[in-house]
Amino acid sequence: MKNIVPHHFSVSREQRALQMGHGAFLIWFTGLSGSGKSTIANAVEEALFKKNIHTYTLDGDNVRKGLNNNLSFSPEDRTENIRRIAEVSNLMIDAGLVVLAAFVSPYAEDRANIKNIVGHDNFVEVFVNTPVEECERRDVKGLYAKARAGEITNFTGVNAPYEAPVAPDVQINTIETTVENAVDIILQHIDKKLHTNG
């Protein structure tokens, strides 16, 4: 961007990581509404918190009601939603946090963009892979019923696409895997990153 010259602050990301005592990175949960993203992200954050890891979770409640309250569910607005969340995550990583983000994020290109924004080494993609039939059976928020009734026009999995990740870092099938097991699988996957400073 023109006429923007970054100021170089003297406390580095590496120094912040040393002070925090653990690595900083983003765990991104993608999947259909009702797949289990928030439930699993919450359980992973609890487990990390108990280990004195500094965390923050971003999800629809604290993002679509605030920072992104001007965005709809059109493809363009979903792209902008994910871009802003990736940029916020990037700042939080720089601040030394392990960031958990739970968003439908249905487009592969948008998810690839997150990886570019935060850096490939700072990104862990968790695909919460629950078939739409199961999500619809759970219908936690009653939104599938509304979508089937034609009250929501672009609802992911019903009348809007979900592009499943081809090579996620972690994949959780929530029909076969309990929340506790999902937490173990994810903790195991991130262990090395947690013990890397900077």
Q: What are phi and psi of 137, to 5 degrees?
A: -65, -40
Structure tokens at 87: 């940029």
Site for ligand ADP in 175-194 (CB under 6 A): 177-179, 182
**Non-local CB neighbours of 15 within 8 Å, separated by 6+ positions:** none
Told to judge if 89 belongs to the known catalytic residues of this protein, a careful annotator would answer no
Residue 178 interacts with which of ligand ADP, ligand PPS, none, CB < 5 to 8 Å by class: ligand ADP
What's the min distance (Å) between Cβ of 62 and ligand PPS?
Answer: 11
> What amino acid is encoded at 96 in this protein?
G
The closest alpha carbon to 35, from 193, 191, 168, belongs to 168
Q: Is 34 in the site for ligand ADP (CB under 6 A)?
A: yes
Q: Is 156 in the site for ligand ADP (CB under 6 A)?
A: no
The rounded distance, in Å, linking the Cα atoms of 146 and 152 is: 6
**Non-local CB neighbours of 124 within 8 Å, separated by 6+ positions:** 25, 26, 27, 28, 169, 170, 186, 189, 190, 193
Does 37 carry a binding-site annotation? Answer: yes
Q: Is 16 in the site for ligand ADP (CB under 6 A)?
A: no
- Comparing CB distances to ligand ADP, the nearer of 102 and 114 is 102
Select the residue whose beta carbon is closest to ligand ADP and give its number: 36
The one catalytic residue in 10, 12, 89, 105 is: 105
Q: State the Cα angle at 179 between 110 and 122, rounded to 5°.
A: 35
Q: Is 67 in the site for ligand ADP (CB under 6 A)?
A: no
Q: Which of 22, 24, 26, 35 binds ligand ADP (CB under 6 A)?
A: 35
**Non-local CB neighbours of 151 within 8 Å, separated by 6+ positions:** none
Does 193 carry a binding-site annotation? Answer: no
Q: Which of 20, 39, 71, 139 binds ligand ADP (CB under 6 A)?
A: 39
Annotated binding residues for ATP, written as ranges, equal: 31-38
Could you list the residues that contact ligand ADP (CB under 6 A)? Answer: 31, 33-40, 102, 138, 140, 174, 177-179, 182
Indicate which residues carry an active-site annotation: 105
